[in-house]
Each structure stands twice: as C-alpha cells, then as structure tokens.
Amino acid sequence: MPKKNFAFVFPGQGAQYVGMAKDFYDLPEYRHFFEESNEKLGLNLTSIMFDGPLEKLKQTQFTQPAILLHSIIAHEYFRQHIQIIPAFTAGHSLGEFTALVASGALNWQDALYLVHKRGTFMIEASQGTPYKMAAILGLDGISIRNICDDIDGVVVAANFNTPVQTVISGEEKAVDMAMEECKNAGAKRIVELIVGGAFHSPLIQRSAEWLHKEMLKIDFSDTIIPVVANYTAQPETKKSEIIDNLTQQIISPVQWVRSVEYMIENGVDTFIEFGPGQVVSGMVKAICRNTHRYHINTLEDAEKVITALKAL
C-alpha cells in the first residue's frame, strides 16, 4: 500500500564487505540474481563478493555492481514479503541507479551493466592526473565549498553527506591545500580516502560523456515512484531528465543533505535502507534525528524489519 511517510534509500561505494549478500544466495529462489549478474558482466562477480580478496572488491568497477546487486536483492526480498509503496526513492551516488530500479525506471540487469561501466569509466578518466579525495568532518558544507572555490587548481565539494561531513575531490595539490585551509577554519577531523579517481569532480568529465553514450543504448522508462536526484535534490519522473541527471551526477556534488531534507519537508519520517552496511541510515540520522530508520543488509535484518513494520 502507498505510504506517504516512507522513503526507500540505497547506499553508494564504501559499504562493501567480503561475504556480502551470501545469506540471500543461500535461498534457491534468489540465486538466479547472482547467476544472471555473472553472465551479464562476463565475470564472476559472485566470487568477488563472497571470497574477495577485499582489495579486489574495493576496485570500483567491481564495487559498484556488487553493491547494486546486494541492494536489489534485499529490496526484492522485502517487496515479496510486505507491500509498502514509498513516497520517494533515493540513492547515494551509485545508489541512485538502484533507486531507479526500485522506482520502475530501469531493469536491474541494465542497471548492473551501467554501474560496471560507470566504475570502469571513472577510473579510466582519472588516469594521468594526480588526484585525491578527502572527508572533512566538523565543518559546514558551505564553508568547505567556499574554501574550495578560493583554491588555485581543481578541487570541489563532491559529497554533501551530512551538515558536518563533506567530501572534497580534485587534483592532489589542490585538495591538499583545501585540507589545510579546512583545518585552519576549524575542521575537527580530515580523512584521506582511498579511491580510484577524483569522483564527482570535473577531472572525470570524460567518464560522464562515455556513460551518457552507454545510457542512450538502454531502455529507460518514466518512474512509477519519484526518485530524488543527487544532482538537483528534486524528484525526477521523466526518462529524459533521468539520463541528463545521471550524466551530470558523475561530475557534480552529491546533494545528499538537501535530498533528505526535501523528503522530510514533503512528509517523510521513515527511511528504509537496502543493501550492505548502514552508512546511509547514519547520514539520515545526522541530518535529522527525528526520523525512523531501518536498514536491511542481511536476511536476518529483513525478517526483523518486516516483522516490525507489520506490527505498526
């Protein structure tokens, strides 16, 4: 049934772990997702997810399809056991592709193919320029954006994750300078991120162009449920705007704070996260503590959440 106070949200890169989704694989009726994924990508994604090694799983061309697949299966299990139609879906970075699947705009096999390509393109586009990404904690996003704007070279606020956590991305020297200025401005902690490129920055412009060409080959549909886009922090429903927003998203900031605030302002007070970990749930809590948050990573999580929601 439609639930105007519910939103379904999906994680991005960083939530992966060796053994992810193994308990769903052990259910015969869900095994076909893994088998079809291996065939679609022409590689043994299942083995990388279950056996690693972690260093290989962390490579973004594998991380992205692994997280999407885990999230899709967790959502499908939930959907088969309780009928809740949310007001919105949203995903953090690559999670936006999962949100589009959950909203009926894209089939999961095409989404899997696209995020594998997306990860490959993001790495390839980063070659040749020393790059860096870093998380800045304890300083507001506007201050961080202004610091980046004043730095010579390419450095941008890439992910507005919470009111006091923003990720910056760009050329190594420019990021180093921005980190120092953020420290001087009162940042409590700065964490350099181990990543395969300068994600969500102009440095990977070519990846946006390459991904756009791939998306034009795919049959997108208008959404059944509005998806709150990372690029605009506004709901999207038309297939034409979906492709444009996904193209811009790869080189633009993830407007996660504004996205969550939009959903809350429009009646959402309950968020269900599908996929590995509970990073997105933690971000939602940091943005607004006065929300109900559930996460479905494992089969056990799914059973607990379904039981709890049926009791409401």
Q: Is residue 85 a contact partner of residue 1, using CB atoms and an 8 Å limit?
A: yes
User: Six-digit token pair at 83?
Assistant: 């009928």
Sheet holding 165-171, edge to edge: 155-162, 165-171, 131-137, 189-193
Name the E strands within 163-256: 165-171, 189-193, 227-228, 235-236
**Residue 257: what are its φ and ψ, rounded to 5°?**
-60, -50
3-state SS class at 38: helix
Kindly give the pairing relationship between strand 227-228 and strand 189-193. unpaired
Q: DSSP letter at 287?
A: H
User: Six-digit token pair at 153?
Assistant: 């070279």
| Side chain identity, residue 230 | N
Rounded Cα distance between 198 and 228, Å, is 24
The β-bridge partners of 90 are 9
**Cα–Cα distances in Å, from 265 out to 75, 253, 261, 268?**
25, 21, 6, 7
State the catalytic residues: 93, 200
